[in-house]
Structure 1
């Protein structure tokens, strides 16, 4: 199978495979649930991030809860929770890392402020309004900011925008800063503004130009009703600028529901000056202003970094878009920086403006109507300036989400350790490399307890499987709908079979109710090794426990693929499955004394091999290693792969995590291969 490396936001919006397992769902109950949800009033702790400075702009760090006054839609609120964040700046002489000091006032023991009220940054690289040098300098500035200014608790994401792909999420908000650095390195897109030394336009750009011209024709009406001649080149640039505005506006709407400030650091050359100040047609500027206000209302200040800088004086065709960036920063509540080359000073200034803040908490009735609440914060002390988020939006039913919001919601479920949209339910997932070949060489298997997820599977439910490569690109995916009410069992084993190239992969399986948005996620990782020319390779085993009549659910391929070849099933890869046993994924009852394992192995270029199989059990807490007796119950060979069904005698085990090691050795060549499976004894 050809490896697909389509970026995340694209595959979620455009390239999901045809729904593979569908059934007509009874959505009447889900509709009732959704209707009830729309009218439900829930009591929610609302958290507001506040910055306080003196008249010089220096942060004030000694305030207490009693110093603050907070209004929600004009009503005075009782501040019940309070948190103070003071970030000590690094000392140049010792180059010590920045340390965060968290001070809390008296809080009731039962209350806990969520850790998600830390700092959040989104690095947004505008590929379109840039040139090659601007992109390179933007990446350098991004690396410097991450490496010198971020706290361990800070969450950061990397997005980019290009006219060919739209808004792309390379890495969602995460505190794993190394992943963000790798994501930035992986961005290979060519700038939409072609440098003077660069080549011409792509076919996609030609198509966009044709659409722009076709939509407006050779003449266009002005705001006064008169007609004028239209420059196709100008209209094409307008077309691209409008698409950018629409994409960022959708992002702003989606960010409404993530608490606190979302500081966006935008690297861009802005909108061309001639477009921004066109007298005959001010619609673009007005639309850009609305986008900036949308960002402000979602508490997403934009710190705009001008990537042309002083270079625009030397360029033949500069963008000169600093005025648009200045407007964006001013309206959204961020800062404007006039040259990306000064990235050290820019990083320090952003750090200074975001490093010291307070968190105020109060309880509200969330009516799930999506309405906006205006928030005003004051301090009792005189002479201080208060910078607080202007407001927030009530939650709204999932059915009212835009398509972009639903895609971001799915990304949040799949990629975030602590999703912002809901409390996360998790289920078990294992990844099994199963073949030396690149065709059908990888199995994902998850265990879904229907009782645990009963609130999720009422009505229409989708199952989404995403495989990310080492550059955080989608290597493969499946998507489909399931009516779980038709499944007679309380437990389901859902599996997918993939063909992957050698490399490291992160795997996600997401269950999501399409009417309520409630979801659950499972995660796993796998390394597909390179082929070997000779020797022995053993693959991770499928472990089996005594449990009757397991119910298996497979993600099928597209109709076209099914027509070309009969799809594989789990029993084709692990042929000793029976109605008497079920797969072991994570938890094993300590009463189980015997464990079955289906073990696959490849023997390459060894004549008349003599294989010895051994197994060991390792207790994680003590490191104790126990040899296990191995009994071969059955064996067969399929497509140059030896498949064994073995039985392992287990000792008495204390509760905790264990690893099972299985090693195969060819006695003549001394070639060895070892695999490990972990599980929990309960």
Structure 2
């Protein structure tokens, strides 16, 4: 019926418009030679820019080329060239000596800039020390030549770290470089045939669940590669807006390599299983992982020049570094070059290049990779350019920013929050996830952030690498901001998730509309409800009770994300200070299909001593389907001195690792 009515309406309107056109034509015919204005059509031509370096057999840049000297091929097909422009940082006098037949305009002062990144993730300590003396010499020579340098580092704990903004000051450069160290992580992993480090994973700065040595090594290699990808993605995102070709000197003894590691061959990568909920890495091939970085760098004209302190000869075919440099239009450098050679190479590469504007085959962005090849018609010349491009939409750019935060959540601290999550069994292999976000509002207020809404992403992935579960929610902070609250508390409960028991890597991300990102990672244990399993402690939480009339069955969840009890709701704490005057509520959930009664004892241990907490059981529930018992106790904190404590539960003959909670009591 709706379709017929629509057709009828369309026909009526069509008749009206045809009548109007007929009447208008009679009026126009009656007008005595009235001038009709000429229509003007605006044509928009879409162009792509590709930066090109042309050199002779000795590596010297060749100026003076024009559009007739070049050919551009996209996806194997020739494309029309619109223009060719020589981009140069040389002054007018220098150019006039090279090409005397051309009259150059007044000099335009361009900034000579170089980004310098020290890869503290993959470069061993001894190799980094070896590189520093030579790199310090090179950078100070470039500063004398008028170059400004930004110095950054890939750090295992902090991610991409800016050590110094752009500077020409030699003393600043030297002081900054003195702070740089190599990676113990790379050292341990490259010597992993020794079992000693596997027995002491804390050396590597990781908090991991119990794992086999094989599983631990796989995780460590995966983390190292994920951290490397995260740092590279973050650097590219930071420099999207900078104009022109961007030259990056990367000091690294090599990215995690395919050839030297069983985990980076084809089968091994299947076992690595990146935490990639947005699936930006679309293949298990090692080269496909690098291609994602290369394509993203090429989209913003970033070229990598990699200096490897471990190499005494250059191998352009086998290493990930050479792949990165070659396809971004850069060069691979090594110990065979003297400081003078390195300075000349970096100057030559940054001071002159051609920018070719050509008409691409597609009329609009399609999000696909397009291979680009540039040829020069003159004999004896070499051309270096980027391997191709992908035009990322704004949505794709945002996805890559989030992907970097999932790769290495510990690097992202611009939004300050705490995060707690537990698995609530519903039936075998079916769980609810119950959690809380506690967000500090003061840092947001200090930045004059007023939008009042923030995106919350929650993703979890099994350690063995099953599919990733991802949820997203838009949080409204306006009420708390207007009330002047210091914190925003958000409780949430997910829908049922069908998933196998096991350890899950879980990441929470908060992102503001101004693209500030905070991230937290925890390991979530989903209990096995097999009837043959021994009794176990599943969940252990502290919180407070909020008296209210029952809005649902006890031990179910309301829309507010709070746990319903008979005459109250349970609000879990999440790292906040606990007022000693309040009653403390304690929630226990145990898996035990037997008839015994649980009689736990609770103790607070801290600098002020040990305190036994007398408790009262106020509510209990037994779920016959899951075999889980849920118990809520209350106790008084009166007489407990303020301070930091460890709350433990004892007296339960149960397995499980969740028997301790850290809390802070105040008055």
| TM bin (shorter chain) | 0.3 to 0.5
TM-score, scaled to structure 1: 0.45
TM-score, scaled to structure 2: 0.46
Higher relative contact order (CA 8 A, sep 6+): 1
